[in-house]
Amino acid sequence: MQFCDLLRMTVLLAAGGATVLGAITALAANAGNDTRTLLVAAVWWTAALVIGSILGRPGRAADAMRPLLAEARTTPTLPTDNPNRVAIARLWPLGAFALVAGVLGIFFPGVAAVGTGFAIAAALTLRAWGRAVAAIEERDGVRFYVEPGSALEPVSLVRTPGLRRGRPPGGHQPEPPPA
């Protein structure tokens, strides 16, 4: 599975989890007339937006990706692993987190409220990481793939040759011939 795709799936899953957890918070707190939870949730979600936006700045994303991409093993062949299996193996903790927080949030709206904030911050932080990796892939003419492994282990990558999309090395376009 391409690393950019895994990052996009992570952002989508975190944002979807935040949406569902936010809805559970609102419904459960409204059913129990719990305005305090809604007020605290609004403050926490705003803080999570700010924190995620700061941590997700493009400069920070490039700095976060640099060591991981530098340690990628180089291979001339494409990985043959099933992308769905790699995604499930890497992302199941995020889905389990949303499920547990959602179920607990039905009975305790504060749990879903806290989970929503963490999911918002995670989605906003990781959204720029995919763009940073895509920019490096475009610049260097390579592709990064995720090696299969457990979600409890650090991610390891494989670097493969990519297509340079018709651009010469250095990024300069040739000048047209004189007419």
Averaged pLDDT, 27-46: 94
Cα→Cα distances 94→52, 57, 109, 125, 141, Å? 17, 22, 19, 15, 31
Q: For residue 175, is pLDDT > 90?
A: no
In this predicted structure, what is the pLDDT of residue 165? 54
Buried b (16+ CB within 10 A) or exposed e, 92-125: eebeebbeebbebbeebbbbbbbbbbbbbbbbbb
For 159, other C-beta atoms within 10 Å of its C-beta total: 19
Counting residues of the chain whose pLDDT is more than 70, the rounded percentage is 91
Handedness of CA 55, 11, 121, 53 (dihedral sign): positive
- Running DSSP on this structure, what letter comes out for residue 74? E
Annotate 117-167 with DSSP letters as a single string.
HHHHHHHHHHHHHHHHHHHHHHHHTEEEEEPP--TTS---EEEEE---TTP
- Picking from 76, 81, 77, the residue whose alpha carbon sits closest to that of residue 5 is 81
Q: For residue 178, is pLDDT > 70?
A: no
In this predicted structure, what is the pLDDT of residue 80? 81
CB 87 within 8 A of CB 1: yes
Helix (H, G, I), strand (E, B) or coil at 2: strand
Structure tokens that stand for 151 in this block: 């979600």
Could you tell me which residues are beta bridge partners of residue 40? none
Structure tokens that stand for 131 in this block: 């763009």
CB 49 within 8 A of CB 124: yes
Q: For residue 168, is pLDDT > 80?
A: no
Counting residues of the chain whose pLDDT is more than 90, the rounded percentage is 58
In this predicted structure, what is the pLDDT of residue 176? 60
Average model confidence (pLDDT) across the chain: 88
Q: For residue 37, is pLDDT > 70?
A: yes
Q: For residue 164, is pLDDT > 80?
A: no
Averaged pLDDT, 133-142: 88
